[in-house]
Chain A
Amino acid sequence: DQQVKQNSPSLSVQEGRISILNCDYTNSMFDYFLWYKKYPAEGPTFLISISSIKDKNEDGRFTVFLNKSAKHLSLHIVPSQPGDSAVYFCAASGKAAGNKLTFGGGTRVLVKP
């Protein structure tokens, strides 16, 4: 049973518009959440993170929102650029699990020029 789920396997968006990626989790012991970005034939790279004591974290065009009561987080990319076309993985961790990462299945984003 997947503890971290990304229910949208793909997303297509026009350049300059907002991309919204969603992620749901079931384990209430998770207290730290991350997004990783992956280009084809490369390893994932860290993008942004948020602690459970916050509900928002922003880094340039990327903002992550956390709704603990709904066990839901989202990644907003504004404005979207063609170079953002990649697979995005949501991940979660918790002290009780030794801070090991549990990943979602990924969302493939295509930004059209």
Chain B
Amino acid sequence: NAGVTQTPKFQVLKTGQSMTLQCAQDMNHEYMSWYRQDPGMGLRLIHYSVGAGITDQGEVPNGYNVSRSTTEDFPLRLLSAAPSQTSVYFCASSWSGDHSQETQYFGPGTRLLVL
């Protein structure tokens, strides 16, 4: 099993550009989520999904869109990149249900720099 994969590993964008961060998992997990990690802030939840066709906002959703058309894939779209979106982005997946959801498997991350 590849687990959770993310592409690209690193990306540089100019302010105003858009892009999609890809995330895929091969564990048939229902729950998938996107986090951003900033120094001293830990990981903050951007968006999450409890299954195909169902998404919801997390703590910091502004400027990001998601969709979940299949169980495996959960792409994150930056609509118009801003320097404040410079961060490391992690995708994670897990089983749904009490305390299974919290034990999440993380991808290796995408480092994004917005100039």
Contact = CB atoms under 8 A, between A and B. Distances in A.
- A and B bound? yes
Interface of A: 2, 4, 6, 9, 32, 34, 41-46, 49, 51, 89, 91, 93, 95, 99-106
Contacts of B40: 9, 105-106
Contacts of B4: 43
Contacts, number: 60
Contacts of B92: 43
Contacts of B99: 32, 49, 51, 99
Contacts of A99: 98-99, 101-102
A106 B40 CA distance: 7
B42 A49 contact: no
Contact-residue size bin, chain B (C-beta under 8 Å from the other chain): 20 to 34
B48 interface: yes
A34 to B, nearest CB: 6
Contacts of B27: none
Given A2-B42, A41-B109, 7 more contacts: A9-B40, A32-B102, A41-B108, A45-B106, A46-B104, A89-B42, A103-B42
Contacts of B45: 100-102
A34 B105 CA distance: 13
